[in-house]
Amino acid sequence: MHPPTPMALRHVQADAAAGVLVGAPANTDLIVLFMLGDMGRDSKKWKEPNEFRPERFLPGGEAESVGPLPRRKETSRMMPFGAGHRFCPGVGLAMLMLKSFLAALVRKFHWTAPTDAVVDLTELDGFLKTMKKPLSASLARRT
């Protein structure tokens, strides 16, 4: 929903452009922008795209088949690690490390939200996307 970079660039060489992009001028190199943030908020592909609903990705959810590994059918919905021959080769390690890191945080700390906590998903515009009002939580080491 909120990728760290709002877009991905892809250079398409002249010999491939005409076969890849409909209406591309012949013998022209092109730069294609994939608007990653917009992909995650497309109401034609997602129900309530601006709502934080992680259950979409659970078994039986609308995005059960969408994940870090690219599948041709689902690439147009989400590309967290890229797609095609430029797909990130470190995705397996990244997912293992993320699971281990999150499990350690949950195991080692008690988490509490501030009593006045309101989640605002508004982003600051820039090359990297950050939340306008960052999330906050209080942590206490488990004993």
Main-chain phi, psi angles of 136, to 5 degrees: -140, 150
Enclosing H/E stretch for 92: helix 91-108
Q: Which residues contact 79 (CB under 8 A, 6 or more apart)?
A: 8, 34, 36, 39, 70
Annotated binding site for heme: 88
Main-chain phi, psi angles of 110, to 5 degrees: -90, 130
Annotated binding site: 88
Cα distances from 36 to residues 8, 23, 42, 81, 84, in angstroms, run 7, 23, 10, 11, 15
Distance CA 135, CA 120 (A): 8
